[in-house]
């Protein structure tokens, strides 16, 4: 193995059995040595240091992370502490090799990866087998077509624990087989499928089941996976996989890759001991055997992963972008794996107590939220509201659970975001409950601005709006909706009836400023004229579709857009604050391709020569500014001559970062006109 140019000074957090294996192989890696050991128990740290690294300093986790001599940290504590310690290490400027799983769930894993990408330090999840030459050889065989087109992967990793006690059987410590060793067959299936498809494997289906023990953790689990077959799909595209895991059933660990021309077998895919090897079988041909025993460069798996981190650190020191992580197991691989493990546990029926939608989930770091300095957010005012609104508004209808919502909302708040858009209609109140619980957990009810909506079809009546408002307040754990919108219009109801009921709720203190969503500009004017004539408060806010792409149609029945020239003039003349939804045209500026017509709604609503020209100009300007085209599209919305507060609906922290990148783009009038095709 070629050693890295600059060996690292390592600290170990969590002096357990797996850390001993790591420590025993580290000297062979060329990646440095252990200079410190951290533990919550001083005597354990000292005993570990005396055994594997005589002379190493010992202390608490915090003391070790504060040590300026420590450059890299190996996190080998229990699952539930991985995220907090990894983030603490990254914030302390250390590089991190974190044992799997990176976090107990995808939401928390997003927070850890985001901490790495914003810190400039290196993060690597420690699936050590992925860095072994056996794994590289396997993937090379798949890519070369050694067994034809790959059809199926079978992978297992399970064992029978000596006693049904301890951390493996403790739900509060994220026990069970799926999280402890289930990630091995999942990462293997994803890696083989990706090599076979020639691109990152996208999971399209998961069916699973298993046995849940008396302590509430999975003791045996199996899942059938299907990976994306690409644009053409069909028989030539997809890869299926079967994965198995458990902590109460000892199945021999094995991997088999089945293709149209043969199969590949690994009898020792994970521990990778002295008998490690790959067997390739093709009809009518003798078996091909590849071995990777002692003497093979990089044959010690823990040494290999340490060397991989050291190479990334060296690349970062040379000024290279290492935000993707290692090619063998990237940070995107970590995120995708954690999402699969979430789905697998859900299929089995395991949800840990600390993940429940009513749980007091803390920040992933364990520290209070802190707004970035300098604050990247911009703010605006809606008359009568009494609080500034962040110019970017977080839509809350894309959150599968509270852990995911917490990570995303935390990132939005730390980016200066204060305003959230929700509706009783979203998940029939479930998404409002997630937001309300997060606000309670963070103590932010008085600081945040929540845009609540109700009166959706088929209950788009004054009576329907009323009961939905009352349920929304209960769901959100709030007494008042400071900004409330009717979610739809019902032309069969006279505008005065809607104005009256909104005034009644405002007078009762249940709502503050109010307006409408998906109303025509004519109906908006009619309602405000009625309000003025009858001494009532009128509508102050509109929330329709608006963005750089002109809407040819709307995604859902009852929706309205204001992307046409007449509507833009109306907004400019009246200066009505607009909270536009689909401000980035449902991904049009990120992924639309005239040749790709798989997304029927995207095609129906946005596919036109004019919009593709807008996209081309946005991409051209984005290249000049060094930002994504989506940031230019959002900057276009922010640069309008009327107040705008675009609603974004990111499904991940990475998508949130891409969305908020538009805050740093200031477009002048000429650029806005060119993007809108008004410069000819």
Whether the link from the prior residue into 458 is cis, omega within 30° of 0, is yes
Q: Give the Cα separation of 38 and 49 in Å (integer).
A: 9
Q: What percent of the chain has a predicted confidence (pLDDT) above 90?
A: 91
| HSE (side-chain half, CA atoms, 13 Å) at 465 | 29
pLDDT > 90? residue 271: no
Which of 20-29, 223-232, 347-356, 582-591 has the least mean pLDDT?
223-232
Q: Give the Cα separation of 292 and 333 in Å (integer).
A: 25
* Mean predicted lDDT score pLDDT of the chain: 94
Contact (CB, 8 A) for 436 and 476 = yes
Confidence of residue 236 (pLDDT cuts 50, 70, 90): low
Helix (H) or strand (E) holding 672: helix 669-675
Confidence of residue 232 (pLDDT cuts 50, 70, 90): very low
pLDDT > 60? residue 91: yes
Supply φ then ψ for residue 494, to 5 degrees: -55, 140
Q: Give the Cα separation of 219 and 548 in Å (integer).
A: 52
Whether the link from the prior residue into 101 is cis, omega within 30° of 0, is yes
Known catalytic residue at 433 = no
State the DSSP code for 101.
Answer: P
Strand positions, DSSP E, 67-130: 72-75, 95-99, 123-126
Among positive and negative, which fits the CA dihedral 69, 74, 75, 76? negative
pLDDT > 70? residue 234: no
Confidence of residue 598 (pLDDT cuts 50, 70, 90): confident
Residue the block writes with tokens 């502490």: 81
The tokens describing 560, both together, are: 């309205």
pLDDT tens per residue across span 397-412? 989 999 999 999 999 9
- Beta-bridge partner residues of 596: 593
* Closest C-alpha among 438, 445, 437 to residue 411: 438
pLDDT tens per residue across span 138-164? 999 999 999 999 999 999 999 999 888
pLDDT > 60? residue 1: no
Q: What is residue 450's predicted lDDT score, i.e. its pLDDT?
A: 97
pLDDT tens per residue across span 314-360? 999 999 999 999 999 999 999 999 999 999 999 999 999 999 999 99
pLDDT > 60? residue 369: yes
CB burial string 374-385: b at 16+ within 10 A, e below: eebbbeeebeeb
Q: Give the Cα separation of 178 and 221 in Å (integer).
A: 7
Q: What percent of the chain has a predicted confidence (pLDDT) above 70?
A: 97
Contact (CB, 8 A) for 225 and 340 = yes
Q: Give the Cα separation of 549 and 555 in Å (integer).
A: 14
The tokens describing 484, both together, are: 């409330």
Domain architecture of the chain: domains with CATH: 8-129+302-320 (3.40.50.720), 387-587+629-675 (3.20.20.100)
Q: Give the Cα separation of 294 and 678 in Å (integer).
A: 69
pLDDT tens per residue across span 640-665? 999 999 999 999 999 999 888 889 99
Q: Which long-range contacts (CB under 8 A, 24 or more apart) does 366-369 make?
A: 366/84, 366/88, 369/410, 369/413, 369/414, 369/442
pLDDT > 90? residue 89: yes
pLDDT tens per residue across span 431-448? 999 999 999 999 999 999
pLDDT tens per residue across span 531-541? 999 999 999 99
Q: What is residue 276's predicted lDDT score, i.e. its pLDDT?
A: 72
Helix (H) or strand (E) holding 570: helix 565-574
Q: What is residue 235's predicted lDDT score, i.e. its pLDDT?
A: 45
Confidence of residue 296 (pLDDT cuts 50, 70, 90): confident
Q: Which of 100, 433, 453, 615 is catalytic?
A: 100
**CA angle at residue 415 from 438 to 431, to 5 degrees?**
30
Strand positions, DSSP E, 72-217: 72-75, 95-99, 123-126, 150-158, 203-212
Q: Is 558 helix (H, G, I), strand (E, B) or coil?
A: coil
pLDDT > 70? residue 274: no
pTM of the model: 0.94
């Amino acid at each position: 193995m070629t050693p890295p140019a600059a060996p690292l000074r390592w600290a170990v957090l969590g002096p357990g059995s797996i850390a001993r294996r790591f420590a025993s192989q580290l000297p062979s890696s060329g990646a440095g040595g252990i200079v410190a050991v951290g533990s919550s128990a001083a005597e354990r740290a000292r005993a570990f240091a005396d055994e594997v690294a005589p002379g190493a300093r010992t202390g608490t986790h915090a003391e070790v992370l504060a040590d300026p001599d420590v450059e890299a940290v190996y996190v080998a504590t229990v699952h539930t502490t991985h995220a907090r310690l990894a983030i603490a290490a990254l914030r302390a400027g250390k590089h991190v090799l974190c044992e799997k799983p990176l976090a107990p769930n995808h939401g928390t894993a997003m927070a850890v990866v985001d901490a790495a990408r914003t810190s400039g330090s290196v993060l690597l999840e420690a699936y050590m087998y992925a860095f072994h030459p056996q794994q590289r050889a396997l993937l090379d065989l798949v890519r070369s077509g050694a067994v034809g087109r790959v059809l199926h992967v079978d992978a297992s990793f399970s064992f029978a624990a000596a006693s049904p006690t301890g951390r493996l059987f403790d739900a509060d410590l994220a026990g069970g087989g799926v999280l402890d060793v289930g990630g091995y067959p999942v990462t293997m299936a994803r890696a083989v499928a990706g090599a076979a498809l020639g691109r990152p494997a996208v999971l399209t289906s998961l069916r699973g089941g298993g046995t849940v023990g008396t302590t509430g953790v999975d003791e045996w689990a199996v899942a059938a996976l299907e990976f994306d077959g690409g644009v053409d799909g069909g028989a030539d595209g997809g890869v299926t996989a079967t994965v198995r895991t458990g902590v109460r059933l000892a199945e021999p660990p094995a991997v088999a890759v089945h293709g149209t021309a043969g199969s590949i077998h690994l009898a020792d895919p994970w521990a990778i001991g002295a008998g490690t090897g790959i067997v390739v079988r093709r009809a009518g041909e003798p078996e091909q055997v590849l071995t990777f025993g002692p003497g093979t460069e990089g044959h010690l798996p823990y040494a290999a992963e340490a060397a991989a981190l050291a190479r990334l650190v060296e690349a970062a020191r040379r000024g290279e972008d290492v935000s993707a992580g290692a090619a063998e197991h990237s940070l995107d691989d970590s995120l995708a794996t954690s999402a699969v493990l979430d789905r697998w546990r859900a299929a089995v029926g395991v949800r840990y107590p600390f993940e429940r939608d009513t749980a007091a989930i803390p920040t992933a770091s364990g520290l209070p939220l802190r707004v970035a300095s300098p604050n990247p957010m911009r703010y605006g005012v809606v008359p009568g509201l009494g609080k500034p609104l962040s110019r970017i508004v977080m839509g809350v209808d894309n959150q599968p659970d509270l852990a995911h919502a917490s990570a995303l909302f935390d990132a939005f708040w730390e980016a200066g975001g204060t305003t959230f858009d929700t509706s009783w209609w979203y998940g029939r109140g479930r998404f409002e409950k997630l937001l309300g619980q997060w606000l309670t957990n963070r103590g932010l009810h008085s600081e945040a601005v929540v845009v609540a909506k109700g009166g959706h079809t088929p209950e788009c009546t004054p009576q329907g709006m009323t009961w939905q408002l009352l349920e929304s307040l209960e769901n959100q754990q709030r007494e008042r909706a400071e900004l409330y919108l009717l979610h739809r219009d019902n032309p069969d109801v006279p505008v005065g009836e809607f104005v009256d009921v909104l005034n009644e709720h405002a007078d009762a203190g249940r709502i503050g400023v109010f307006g409408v969503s998906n109303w025509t500009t004519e109906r908006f004017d009619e309602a405000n004229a009625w309000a003025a004539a009858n001494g009532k408060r009128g509508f102050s806010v509109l929330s329709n579709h608006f963005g750089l792409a002109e809407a040819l149609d709307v995604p859902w029945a009852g929706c309205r857009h204001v992307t046409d020239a007449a509507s833009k003039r109306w907004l400019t003349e009246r200066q009505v604050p607009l909270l536009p939804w689909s401000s980035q045209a449902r991904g049009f500026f990120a992924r639309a391709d005239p040749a790709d017509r798989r997304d029927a709604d995207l095609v129906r609503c946005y596919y036109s020569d004019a919009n593709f020209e807008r996209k081309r100009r946005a991409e051209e300007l984005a290249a000049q500014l060094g930002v994504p085209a989506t940031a230019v599209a959002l900057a276009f919305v922010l640069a309008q001559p009327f107040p705008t507060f675009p609603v974004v609906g990111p499904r991940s922290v990475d998508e949130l970062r891409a969305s908020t990148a538009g805050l740093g783009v200031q477009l002048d009038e000429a650029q806005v006109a060119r993007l809108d095709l008004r410069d000819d």
